[in-house]
Amino acid sequence: MVTPRYERPRHLQEALAELAQAPYTVIAGGTDVYPAHVTRPLPRTLLDISRLSELRGVQAIDGSLRLGALLTWREIAQAALPPAARCLAQAAQEVGGVQIQSRATIGGNLCNASPAADGVPPLLALDARVELASAAGRRALPLSEFILGNRRTACRPDELLVAIRLPARSPAARSVFLKLGARRYLVISIAMVAVVLDFDARGHVAYCGVAVGACAARAQRLPALEAALLGAAPAQLPARAAEALAGEALAPLAPIDDVRGSAAYRLAAVRTLLTRAIEELSG
């Protein structure tokens, strides 16, 4: 008979030492792990990292932001984030309901790697990187390389996701997140989009990040649409977006038919959401 193991370390190095010895199911807020085991026993090896203070807080570092992996969505929604990260604060208010937002963490959202994870499109559009730590050292990966597919990540069994880094943007940068669901709260997305724009001294687009969630095995950026918007003045954005969306801009997407919506409906919804998001930012 296997003896159940539950560890709740107080410090990061203790947690990494445990992971170096044996694989664990890592929990923080537990809002993904516990619902997945309603009809079956919990894993026999649980590593509860909720007491690791090193994984909390928001730090500004040379203009960039470092978000601790244990930040809850409630904390993110209430944080004093710059305008470029407004899309992340908007997504934070769409995760589950208030009770879920008060427990669920940004790191857990990424590690769960659901195709419909609300936090992934804004972080992709912001060009986020993740910090991974193990007893052997640390490494960083672009978020686009960390999430590999449905419920799959590049995190090794001996590693923890400890932080998310957002690159510096100018004060002129702005962003928006839009989500379509069957109701306002406690709903899995039918489709969602995040758009981040930064502007140069002339007021033209110098950086563009566009990401779509719930329309492929993992959230996808749309490089053709991003390229179409680069260099545009705000007034030109809607026309450029319309032209790109009438072409192959949505080619990276591969939506499925399910109870929430058909593939065709999802693609139509994405076009509408992107049009609305870009019109809002062009203002």
| pLDDT-above-90 percentage for the chain | 88
CB atoms within 10 A of CB 188: 16
Measured CA angle at 92 (ends 128, 157), to 5 deg: 55
CATH number 3.30.390.50 given to 174-282: yes
Phi, psi of 133 (to 5 degrees): -125, 145
Domain boundaries, the chain: 5-48, 56-166, 174-282
In the chain, the N- to C-terminal Cα span, in Å, equals: 64
Average predicted confidence (pLDDT) for the chain:
95
pLDDT in tens, 119-168: 999 999 999 999 999 999 999 999 999 999 999 999 999 999 999 999 99
Encoded tokens for 221: 């950026």
Whether residue 62 has pLDDT greater than 90: no
Nearest to 223 by CA among 237, 208, 233: 208
Instruction: Please give the Cα distance from 173 to 198 (Å, whole number).
Output: 4
Quick one: pLDDT band at residue 194, thresholds 50, 70, 90? very high
**The pairing of beta strand 147-149 with beta strand 160-166:** unpaired
The structure's pTM equals 0.95
Whether residue 1 has pLDDT greater than 70: no
Q: What is the pLDDT of residue 118?
A: 96
Sign of the CA dihedral with 100 first, then 59, 171, and 108 last: negative
Q: What is the pLDDT of residue 261?
A: 94
Measured CA angle at 250 (ends 246, 252), to 5 deg: 155
* One-letter amino acid for residue 245 of the chain: L
CB 139 within 8 A of CB 50: no
Quick one: pLDDT band at residue 182, thresholds 50, 70, 90? confident
236: Cβ–Cβ under 8 A, 6 or more apart, which residues?
A: none
pLDDT in tens, 25-52: 999 999 988 888 888 888 889 999 999 9
Best CATH choice for the domain 56-166 from the list 1.10.260.30, 3.30.465.10, 3.90.76.10, 3.30.930.10 = 3.30.465.10
- Rounded to a whole number of angstroms, the CA Rg of the chain reads 19
Quick one: pLDDT band at residue 199, thresholds 50, 70, 90? very high
